[in-house]
Amino acid sequence: MLTLGVETSCDESSAALVDGDRMLSNVIASQVDLHAAYGGVVPEIAARAHVEAIVPVLGEALSAAAGRPGLVAVTVGPGLVGSLVVGVSVAKGLAWSWDVPMVAVNHVEAHAFAPALEGRLPAFPFLALVVSGGHTLLAEVRGVSDMEVLGRTLDDALGEAYDKVAKLLGLGYPGGPVIDGLSADADPRAVLFPRAMIGSGDLNFSLSGLKTAVSRYVKQAGSGAAPVADIAASFQAAALDVVVRKTVAAALERGLRDVVLGGGVACNRKLRSWLAEECAAQGLRLVFPSPELCTDNAAMVAALGHRRFLEGFRSGLDQDVYPGLAFGS
């Protein structure tokens, strides 16, 4: 079935055409450059930019096939309300004018299904680690509509921690790629930052204290501080150490052999290599999508939307948006 996916929850205006799990197009107009000047996402700009980008993005995505889609899948949350409304309004308009069904998708859940587009989605159940600017969670995925959150951040999201620490260190936005890049040739043992919650006995994360520790270190060390690349690498080591260990612990605790890594921070090279290493050591199989399928994109929304459609989910033209939509709800 030809499915049109639409995603406008945050930074990216995206539309994709997917036939089953075969990706025919996945067009993404990113606002990262636009937001870089402000050090992050600015809702009013985000909403206006989505309005301007969505029609050309849709046109390009739809031109990948001659036929008309039989289903529209759209992100209804979580995200910025003004941005979500743009995608949902467009999706309703298309579903109504084409007279085809529409299905609502939680785009954080969709991250766990992104590997399907590359033929690599593991069989249920599997463990999903979703890490992005707004979300950090571990979930057992038992089915398309059967997911259980095992752990989550109690304060800052992983991508948010990268952004804020990059700001503290005077580096650019977005913080993830900058810190990951700088860390490649730097010393991750230069500063011993705390591994918060590593012994908490549960699968939750806390990243706020790490940000405070970096801030305090920079202030106290003054001119005697380690080179900024070493501070960045040391921060990254502390943040990822906890994430990697808890992910492996979650898989072993739940007896899950397959792990899916998704979300924007899944592009992080150090996270990919470190988690792959630790998973391999425990006999776990790790899957992560290509970078363009890690960040928010409409193809993964179509992939999950199609599955939800097959399970009987439908949305009416009164479909609302849910900025705080919970994973697995």
Partner 1 sequence: MDLVIRSDSEERTLALGRTLGAALDPGDVVCLEGELGTGKTVLVRGMARGRGYDGPVTSPTFIIINPYPAATLCHVDAYRLSDGEQLVEAGIDDFLDGCWICAVEWAQRVRSALPSKRLTVSIAFGAGENERLIKVRESGGWDGRLAAVIREMLKDGG
Tokens of 107: 């785009």
Q: State the number of CA atoms in the 13 A half-sphere of 76 facing the CB.
A: 23
Smallest distance, partner 1 to C-beta of residue 109, A? 17
Interface mask toward partner 1 for 242-281; x: CB under 8 A: ----------------------------------------
- Count CB neighbours of 208 within 10 A: 16
Smallest distance, partner 1 to C-beta of residue 167, A: 7
Question: Of the two residues 145 and 208, which places its CB atom closer to partner 1 in the complex?
Answer: 208
Q: How many Å apart are CA 236 and CA 174, to the nearest integer?
A: 14
Contacts of residue 58, defined as CB under 8 A and 6 or more positions apart, other chains included, come to: 4, 6, 15, 90, 94
Binding residue for partner 1 (CB under 8 A) from 120, 145, 208, 245? 208
> In angstroms, rounded to a whole number, what is the distance separating the alpha carbons of residues 85 and 44?
12
Q: Specify the residue, 116 or 214, whose C-beta has the smaller distance to partner 1.
A: 214
Residues from 50 through 109 that contact partner 1 (CB under 8 A):
78-82
Instruction: Report helix, strand and coil shares of the chain as percent, to nearest 5.
Output: 45, 20, 35
Contact set for partner 1, span 14-53 (CB under 8 A): 38-44, 47
Q: Which stretch binds partner 1 (CB under 8 A): 65-73, 186-194, 214-222, 264-272?
A: 214-222
Cβ neighbours of residue 286 closer than 8 Å, sequence gap 6 or more = 259, 261, 275, 276, 279, 280
CB atoms < 10 A from the CB of 219, how many?
A: 10
Quote the least distance from Cβ 228 to partner 1, whole Å. 16
The correct pick among 212, 273, 290, 329 for binding partner 1 (CB under 8 A) is 212
Query: What Cα–Cα distance (Å) separates residue 139 from each residue in 39, 136, 190, 248, 256?
Result: 30, 10, 33, 12, 11
Q: Return the residue of 92, 111, 211, 246 that touches partner 1, per CB under 8 A.
A: 211
Give CA–CA dist 22/314, Å, rounded. Answer: 22
Q: In terms of CB distance, is 111 or 164 closer to partner 1?
A: 164
Q: Does 167 bind partner 1 (CB under 8 A)?
A: yes
- Based on the shown chain and the rule CB under 8 A, indicate whether residue 216 belongs to the binding site for partner 1: yes
Query: By the criterion CB under 8 A, which residues form the site for partner 1?
Result: 10, 38-44, 47, 78-82, 133-135, 152-157, 160, 164, 167-168, 208-209, 211-216, 219, 323-324
